[in-house]
Amino acid sequence: MVPLPKKRRTGCLIVIIILLILLLAIAGLAAMVFGLFGPKNLGVEYTEADYQSAMEKIGTEIIFDGQEGDNLRELTLELKEDGTQYPVAEFDWQHDNFQRRSFELTPEEATALCNEIAPAFYWFERTQVDILPGGIVEASGTLRLRKALQDHYPELIDEVPFPIFRKVNLYARGGIEIRENSLDLAPDTFRTGPIEGISTDMLDENAHYFEPLYTSIPGLVIHSLEVTDEGTFAVDATIPQRTTVTRRQP
C-alpha cells in the first residue's frame, strides 16, 4: 500500500465522497465559481460496465418503491435524465443482511457509483474521483448545497445570513485512509467555488456538520479504505446486501 504523507484528522468533504461511493453515498470535489461553470474535469470517464462491476463487488441489492434489477436501473436513468430530486425524509430506508466484503475499486468504478447509485437522493452530481502518482486522491464535482441542508440541517437554512446557493462546485486533493470508520486525511488542496485555501483548522472546527453525510447507513462499517500501488481503492467493509426504500404514506 502507498504510505500517506503526514496528515491530520478532519471532516473534509473528500472523505464524505469516498464514503458515499461505498454505499448509497461515497467521493471528494471542484470548480472555479458558484454554479456558473461545471466542476473541474479530471478526465475520469466511466461506462455502464464500470457501474455494474462496482455494484457486483459491493453486492448490495437495492429495491426502490417496488422496483429492482433492470427495471430499477431503467427508472434510475430516467430520474437522472430528468434531474429529479427526492427529499430523504419522504422515504423509509431498511438495510438488511450485512456481510463483510473486501474488494478494489478503480477510479472509473468509484466515479460510476458516485453518479449512478442513487442520483435522485445523492447530494453530489458530476463527480469524478482519481488517484494520482504517490497515492494522492483527487476529486471534483458539484454539491447540491440546498438539498444537503434540507435533508440534514433544515434549521440552518433560516439562520444563514445570506442566500444559500443551490449548487456549489468543489475540488479536493490529498491523502486518505479509513480505519474502522475513523477518517485520516492529508488535505493538500480544497476549494469551494472561487474560495481557495480553506484551512484544515476551519474543516476541523466544522467537521461535526459532515457526519450525517457518511453515517446515514446504520451498521455500515468501513474497516479499512486505502490506496494501492496499482491505483485502486482497496476496501474492507461490512455492507448491507439488501437495501429497501419505500415512500412514506401521507
**Mean pLDDT for the stretch of residues 132-159:** 78
Tell me which range, 28-37, 49-58, 180-189, 190-199, is most confidently predicted by mean pLDDT: 49-58
Higher pLDDT, 39 or 91: 91
Model confidence band, residue 7 (pLDDT cutoffs 50, 70, 90): very low
Least confident interval from 43-52, 133-142, 175-184, 190-199: 190-199
pLDDT at residue 188 is higher than 70:
no
Residue 1 in any domain: the answer is no
* Measured distance CA(113)–CA(46) in Å, rounded: 10
Which tens digits make up the pLDDT trace of 150-166?
776 676 666 655 455 67
Residue 32: the pLDDT is 32
pLDDT at residue 140 is higher than 80:
yes
* Measured distance CA(152)–CA(78) in Å, rounded: 26
By CB neighbour count within 10 A (0-12 exposed, 13-18 middle, 19+ buried), where does 209 fall?
middle
Residue 4 in any domain: the answer is no
Question: What is the span of the domain harbouring residue 77?
Answer: 13-247
Number of separate domains in the chain? 1
Residue 196: the pLDDT is 39
pLDDT at residue 36 is higher than 90:
no
Closest of 238, 250, 245, 249 to residue 117, by C-alpha = 245
Which tens digits make up the pLDDT trace of 214-242?
556 778 888 988 899 999 999 999 999 99
Return the percent helix, strand and coil in the chain, to nearest 5.
30, 35, 35
Higher pLDDT, 144 or 138: 138
Average pLDDT, the chain: 74
Residue 185: the pLDDT is 60
Closest of 4, 2, 97, 117 to residue 54, by C-alpha = 117
* Measured distance CA(188)–CA(155) in Å, rounded: 32
**Mean pLDDT for the stretch of residues 113-127:** 86
Residue 177 in any domain: the answer is yes
Residue 43: the pLDDT is 93
Residue 2 in any domain: the answer is no
Residue 7 in any domain: the answer is no
Residue 234 in any domain: the answer is yes
Residue 5 in any domain: the answer is no
- Report CA-CA distances (Å) from 201 to 9, 10, 104, 134, 224: 10, 8, 32, 25, 25
**Mean pLDDT for the stretch of residues 103-130:** 90
Residue 154: the pLDDT is 73
Residue 238 in any domain: the answer is yes
φ, ψ dihedrals at 54, nearest 5°: -65, -40
Q: What is the DSSP string of 65-114?
A: TTB-HHHHHHHHHHHHHHT----GGGEEEEEEEEEEEEEEE-HHHHHHHH
Closest of 59, 28, 96, 80 to residue 244, by C-alpha = 96
